[in-house]
C-alpha cells in the first residue's frame, strides 16, 4: 500500500487537512496517510527543511511526501515532484526541495497545476499526478525531467581555525534551541580540544550532556540531538525565552535587508582551546 505524508503550515483547526486526505483517498483508496506536522512556519523555509528532512528517511521506500509551505507566496502553474533516495517529494518550486535534499535531485518533473486556483483545486491536481505515477511506475510518465528549478540550500555554519559559528535553526515546544552545527562539523573543528559554547554575551556551556539528569535543575546544557544537530536547553526551564533567543525569519530578512541578518536570527559561536 502506498504511503503519503503531509507537512504543512495550515494547522488543524479547520477542514483543509482532512479534505486533502480525502482527495487522495478518492483516487487511491488503499493509500495510507501520515501527518508529519501542520505547524510549520510560513516564513521559515530552513525550519521546514529541517523538520521534513529529518522525518522523511524513516518512511518506507516509495512513500510520497507532500509539503505545503508558503505555497501561494508566488504564482505557480506547477509543483515539483522529485524521486530522491527511494522517496517521492512534492512541493512548490520555491527552493524548498533542494533545502531538504541538500542537492539538486537527478529526477525532478514539473507537474502542472491550476494557476491562481484555491488550494484544494491544486491538491486535486497533485492527487491525480500521484495516481498516474503509482499506476505507471515511472516518474517520466508525468513529463520530461526538469533542469530549471529554484535552488536554495540549508544555512551552513561558518568555520575558523579555533571556532565555529552556527545559526539558530529551530526552537521546539519546550523552547530548546537547535543550532545548525552537526556533530560531524563540531568534531572536525574541535580535533579533541576543549570548547566553550557562547551565546548572549557572557553565557557559556563547556561540556556536552547525554540527558537532562547530567546537570542540576535550572542549569544550562548542550548535546547533539537524534538528528545529529547541536541543541541547547535549560533543565526544567525555557532556554529560548529566558535568554531571548530566536530563530531565523526569512520573510523579515527579505523585507529589511539593510538591517542585516543578526536582527532576525541569532548566532551561536563555539570556541576551541
Query: 81-139, pLDDT tens digit by residue?
Result: 999 999 999 999 999 999 999 999 999 999 999 888 899 999 999 999 999 999 999 99
- Does residue 184 fall inside a structural domain? yes
Residue pLDDT, tens place only, 161-219: 999 999 998 888 889 999 999 999 999 999 999 999 998 767 899 999 988 888 888 89
Answer whether 111's CB lies under 8 Å from 139's CB.
Answer: no
User: Which conformational region is residue 190 in: left (phi greater than 0), alpha (psi within -120 to 50 degrees), or beta?
Assistant: alpha
Classify residue 242: in a domain, yes or no.
Answer: yes
What is the per-residue pLDDT across 135-163, written as a single tens digit (0 to 9) for each? Answer: 999 999 999 999 899 999 888 899 999 99
Domain boundary residue, one of 80, 113, 142 = 142
The number of folded domains in the chain is 2
Residues 79, 183 within the same domain: no
Question: Which among 239, 114, 112, 97 is positioned nearest to 179, based on CA atoms?
Answer: 239
Q: Judge whether residue 257 has pLDDT over 80.
A: no
CA–CA gap between residue 66 and residue 11 (Å, rounded): 15
Q: What would the pLDDT profile of 41-77 be if each residue is shown by its tens digit?
A: 888 888 899 999 999 999 999 999 999 998 877 778 9
pLDDT tens digits, 207-251: 999 888 888 888 999 999 999 999 999 998 888 888 888 776 555
- Out of 115, 142, 169, a domain closes at 142
- The predicted structure's pLDDT at residue 202: 78
Residues 125 and 212 in one domain: no
Note whether 8 and 137 are same-domain residues.
yes
Verify that 162 and 251 share a domain, yes or no: yes
Residue 150 lies in a domain: no
Instruction: Identify the CATH number of the domain in which residue 213 sits.
Output: 2.40.30.90
- Would you say 127 and 135 are in contact if contact means Cβ atoms under 8 Å apart? no
User: Over 90: is that where the pLDDT of 260 sits?
Assistant: no
CATH of the domain at 16: 3.40.50.10790
- Same domain, yes or no, for 248 and 204? yes
DSSP string, 25-60: HHH-TT-EEEEEES---TT-HHHHHHHHHHHGGGSP
152 part of a folded domain? no
| pLDDT given at position 189 | 95
The answer to whether residue 178 sits within a structural domain is: yes
C-alpha cell at 268: 551561536
Q: What angle (nearest 5°) sits at the alpha carbon of residue 9, between those of residues 99 and 138?
A: 55
Average pLDDT, the chain: 90
Residue 169 shares a structural domain with residue 204: yes
58 and 181, same domain (yes or no): no
Q: What are phi and psi of 41, to 5 degrees?
A: -80, 140
Domain holding 53, by residue range, is 3-142
Domain-embedded: residue 151: no
Residue 258 has pLDDT above 60, yes or no: no
Segment 241-270 mean pLDDT: 63
For Cα atoms 53, 58, 61, give the angle at the middle one, nearest 5 degrees.
Answer: 105
Neighbour count for residue 43 (Cβ, 10 Å):
20
pLDDT at position 259: 44
173 & 249 share domain:
yes
Among residues of the chain, what percentage have pLDDT more than 70? 93
CB atoms within 10 A of CB 273: 9
Q: Looking at the domain assignment, is residue 148 inside a domain?
A: no
Domain check: are 24 and 137 in the same one? Answer: yes
Q: What is the mean pLDDT of residues 12-23?
A: 95
For the chain, give the percent of residues with pLDDT over 90.
70
* Same domain (yes/no): 98, 211: no
Most confident of 14-23, 63-72, 161-170, 252-261: 14-23
Determine whether 196 is exposed, middle or buried from the number of CB atoms within 10 Å of its CB (0-12, 13-18, 19+): middle
Local confidence band at 11 (pLDDT 50, 70, 90 cut-offs): very high
C-beta neighbour count of 193 within 10 angstroms: 10
Residue 241's pLDDT is 82
Amino acid at each position: 500500500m502506498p504511503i503519503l505524508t503531509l507537512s504543512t503550515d495550515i494547522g488543524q483547526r479547520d477542514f483543509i487537512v482532512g479534505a486533502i486526505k480525502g482527495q487522495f483517498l478518492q483516487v487511491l483508496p488503499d493509500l495510507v496517510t501520515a501527518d508529519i506536522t501542520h505547524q510549520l512556519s510560513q516564513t521559515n523555509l530552513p525550519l521546514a527543511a529541517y523538520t521534513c528532512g529529518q522525518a522523511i528517511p524513516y518512511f518506507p521506500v516509495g512513500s510520497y511526501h507532500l509539503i505545503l509551505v508558503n505555497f501561494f507566496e508566488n504564482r505557480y502553474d506547477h509543483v515539483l515532484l522529485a524521486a530522491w533516495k527511494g522517496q517521492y517529494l512534492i512541493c512548490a518550486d520555491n527552493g524548498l526541495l533542494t533545502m531538504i535534499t541538500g542537492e539538486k535531485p537527478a529526477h525532478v518533473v514539473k507537474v502542472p497545476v491550476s494557476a491562481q486556483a484555491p488550494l484544494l483545486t491544486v491538491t486535486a491536481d497533485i492527487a491525480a499526478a500521484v495516481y498516474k505515477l503509482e499506476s505507471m511506475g515511472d516518474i517520466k510518465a508525468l513529463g520530461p525531467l526538469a533542469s530549471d528549478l529554484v535552488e536554495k540550500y540549508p544555512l551552513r555554519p561558518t568555520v575558523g581555525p579555533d571556532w565555529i559559528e552556527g545559526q539558530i535553526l529551530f526552537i521546539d515546544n519546550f523552547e530548546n534551541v537547535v543550532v545548525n552545527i552537526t556533530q560531524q562539523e563540531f568534531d572536525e573543528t574541535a580535533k579533541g580540544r576543549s570548547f566553550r559554547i557562547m551565546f548572549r554575551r557572557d553565557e557559556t556551556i563547556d561540556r556536552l550532556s547525554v540527558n537532562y539528569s547530567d546537570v542540576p535543575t535550572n542549569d544550562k546544557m548542550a548535546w547533539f540531538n537524534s538528528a545529529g544537530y547541536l541543541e541547547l536547553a535549560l533543565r526544567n526551564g525555557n532556554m529560548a525565552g529566558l535568554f531571548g533567543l530566536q530563530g531565523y525569519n526569512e520573510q523579515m530578512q527579505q523585507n529589511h535587508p539593510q538591517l542585516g541578518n543578526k536582527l532576525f536570527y541569532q548566532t551561536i559561536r563555539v570556541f576551541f582551546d
